[in-house]
Amino acid sequence: MRLPRDLSGEELAALLRRQYGYRLVRQRGSHMTSGATIDGVSHSVTVPRHRVLRVGTLSGIVADIAAHMDISREEVRAELFGT
């Protein structure tokens, strides 16, 4: 499955909030730090607040979440962006 090419940082933060319960912890400049407690372990990710996220940045965020949850990247992609 391909990652979306037109996703903004705000949209990704909203998807993370809806799907995994990530909440905005802080914002500094153009970057948002969102955190969640998953399986009893807290985790945070930094999401750039850009109009369009670069594919590599989005891929890195997806990989970070997948590694923390101990699931595959494809599962995270499917849960966040659909089939």
HSE toward the beta carbon, residue 65, CA cutoff 13 A? 30
Q: What is the pLDDT of residue 83?
A: 57
Helices 73-81, 9-20: inter-axial angle, 10-degree rounding: 100
Quote the DSSP letter at residue 6: S
- Per-residue pLDDT tens for 47-67? 999 999 999 999 999 999 999
pTM: 0.92
Q: Which tokens belong to 46?
A: 């930094």
Q: Please, which pLDDT band fits residue 1 given cuts at 50, 70 and 90? A: confident
pLDDT surpassing 70 at residue 11: yes
